[in-house]
Amino acid sequence: MFARSQPRFPTLAAFTQHLAQRDMLQSVAAPVSTHLEATEIHRQVIARQGPALLFENPQNQGGMSASMPLLTNVFGSKERVALGMGCKPEDFKKLGELMAFLRSPKPPKGLRGVIEAWPLAKAALASRPRVAAKNTLQHWPLDLSQLPIQTCWPGDVAPLITWGIVITRPPGPDDPRNYNLGIYRLQVTGKDTAILRWLSMRGGAAHHRLWAQRGERMPVAVVIGADPATILSAVIPTPSDVSELMIAGILGGTRPRLMPCQTLPLKVPASAEIVLEGYAEPHETAEEGPYGDHTGYYNGIEPYPVCRLTRITAKKDPVYMSTFTGRAPDEPAVLSESMNDVFLPLLKQQVPEVEDLWLPPEACSYRIAVLKIKKSYAGQARRAMLAMWSLLPQFTMTKLIITVDEDIDCRSWSDVMWAVATRMDPARDMVILEKTSVDSLDFSSPVEGLGGKLGMDATKKIGAETTRDWPEVLRMPEELVKSVEGRWDELFPHGLKGG
């Protein structure tokens, strides 16, 4: 089961200091504009698999120096994502196993089962939030223009808050166990106003509908910068009845510390660098967008709730954390690639024949998936694809699934394309679904939020799937392969010449 194996990082500063000590953070002293330039620097650095970036002297539009440094590309590599989760990249599957257990917990069997389950139970108990009596953040002027908020792409309508952890709760008593933590973008529309953009399936949107039904404003806190476990808990596919704060406690290896907001009936992580406090109006919306998005296109203009700020607070020397979204490589693509191994145990829990899963990072966060299964009966590939589409909200955005056999490396396009070319008949092996939920940002669908899905069965056909005998795959004896590998230096003592 998953267990933290890296040092604890109680704050964002502790994490960035650790990155700096390992040459994973680069400080930039030269002035850098938050209007496009910071994005382009970030874009070129992440393409080179470079470090996190701390812009010490960010310049807002008009050449005015921002009031704090700008931190980007924090999770621009799988290694840094793993560090933030307190583990190594190879431990992502263990984290996925934990998520699968929390999704459908089973009682332990026998003494061994109790012993194996004890660390998880201990971690769950230790992850209950602790609430401080006092908010220690300083009161800042109620003016978003003082922050180094980026304009990421030339066609963006306004500066955009990209890494804000939006904290909401349902109506009723203020209970942190009912909180939702989500990464939603906010369009700046004034010194104290912004537009909240979220997909209708997300927790924040569900909470807002409950408040709107009562005709009441919803309290909203936006945390910009926090300890890495809290930030990443808002990204992980958390089971619907498990709080992101609990996951933050498990990842962080300690009970999350919360503190009350100064103007809201809501609490926020005590590690917060900056907190925007405000209310989402029940029925007031404004046109959001256009903005460059992870699809590589600008998204359309749509109405979303207006948020009116009541206070801005921050640490004494805060850092503003930001990113950009665009065509891969970008941080969302790296996070998606990292989540690949977290998703796998969740999928295997529901579909045991699944052997592996690949979500190509170039495919705009979950749009394409390659599924490897251990096939034993006719129609099994179709069942696996339909099960994946219905498992998680993220997979409603997957519009192409290619299913392959266990002898195929599903993370190799060479292997996958060979399977498609030799094991898939278009007339027989295509699964086409119409009028299904898709990402509203997918402009290829004929109707916003509603489109088709395609499944490709690239497995060897068995039983009732075919009337023909399947041919034998070409393979050299394993002993001969190893023998030749062992003689390589003897055969080519001066190395192999180029073509």
Q: Is residue 452 part of a domain?
A: yes
250 and 205 both lie in a single domain:
yes
377 and 443 both lie in a single domain:
yes
Nearest one of 167, 338, 341 to 261, comparing CA atoms: 167
Q: What is the pLDDT of residue 114?
A: 44
33 and 159 both lie in a single domain:
yes
Nearest one of 39, 30, 7, 3 to 292, comparing CA atoms: 39
Q: Is residue 49 part of a domain?
A: yes
Alpha-carbon distance of 199 to 183, in angstroms, equals: 11
Please name every residue paired with 194 in a beta bridge, in sequence order, or none if there are none.
188, 307
Asked if residue 259 lies in contact with residue 267, where contact means CB atoms within 8 angstroms, the answer is yes
Q: What is the pLDDT of residue 417?
A: 97
298 and 181 both lie in a single domain:
yes
305 and 383 both lie in a single domain:
no
Asked if residue 194 lies in contact with residue 220, where contact means CB atoms within 8 angstroms, the answer is no
Q: Is residue 442 part of a domain?
A: yes
Domain termination residue (choose one: 299, 321, 343): 321
312 and 355 both lie in a single domain:
no
Nearest one of 49, 55, 85, 82 to 69, comparing CA atoms: 55
Q: Count the domains in the chain.
A: 2
Query: What are the tens digits of pLDDT across the range 97-106?
Result: 888 887 765 5
166 and 234 both lie in a single domain:
yes
412 DSSP assignment? -
pTM over 0.85: yes
Nearest one of 223, 232, 228, 225 to 319, comparing CA atoms: 225
Q: Is residue 486 part of a domain?
A: no
User: CATH number, domain at 74?
Assistant: 2.30.110.10
Q: Is residue 340 part of a domain?
A: no
Query: What are the tens digits of pLDDT across the range 309-338?
Result: 999 999 999 999 999 999 999 999 999 889
Q: What is the pLDDT of residue 51?
A: 97
Go through the chain and tell me how many residues it has: 499
User: CATH number, domain at 397?
Assistant: 3.40.1670.10
Catalytic residues, which ones?
293
56 and 147 both lie in a single domain:
yes
Structure tokens that stand for 237 in this block = 């596919």
Q: Do you find a cis peptide bond into 7, omega within 30 degrees of 0? A: no
Phi, psi (rounded to 5 degrees) for 307? -115, 125
161 and 252 both lie in a single domain:
yes
Q: Is 302 helix (H, G, I), strand (E, B) or coil?
A: strand
Q: Is residue 342 part of a domain?
A: no
369 and 317 both lie in a single domain:
no
Q: What is the pLDDT of residue 101?
A: 81
Q: What is the pLDDT of residue 187?
A: 98
Q: Is residue 158 part of a domain?
A: yes
Give residue 430's domain range.
351-465
Q: What is the pLDDT of residue 393?
A: 79
Nearest one of 19, 7, 2 to 92, comparing CA atoms: 2
300 and 208 both lie in a single domain:
yes
Structure tokens that stand for 260 in this block = 């009350």
Per-residue pLDDT of the chain (499 residues), as tens digits, is 677 889 999 999 999 999 999 999 999 999 999 999 999 999 999 999 999 999 999 999 777 888 899 999 999 999 999 999 999 999 999 888 888 887 765 555 554 554 455 555 555 555 678 898 889 999 999 999 999 999 999 999 999 999 999 999 999 999 999 999 999 999 999 999 999 999 888 899 999 999 999 999 999 999 999 999 999 999 987 766 778 998 999 899 888 999 999 999 999 999 999 999 999 999 999 999 999 998 899 988 999 999 999 999 999 999 999 999 999 999 999 998 898 988 899 899 889 999 999 999 888 778 999 999 999 999 999 999 999 998 887 888 899 999 999 999 999 999 999 999 999 999 999 999 999 988 777 788 888 889 999 999 999 999 999 999 989 999 999 999 999 999 999 999 988 887 5
Per-residue burial over 373-412, b = 16 or more CB atoms within 10 Å of its CB, e = otherwise: bebeeeebbbebbbbbbebbebbbbbbebbbbbeebebee
Q: Is residue 487 part of a domain?
A: no
Residue 46 CA: distances (Å) to CA of 42, 50, 78, 361, 368 = 6, 5, 12, 13, 22
366 and 291 both lie in a single domain:
no
Q: What is the pLDDT of residue 350?
A: 87
Q: What is the pLDDT of residue 106?
A: 55
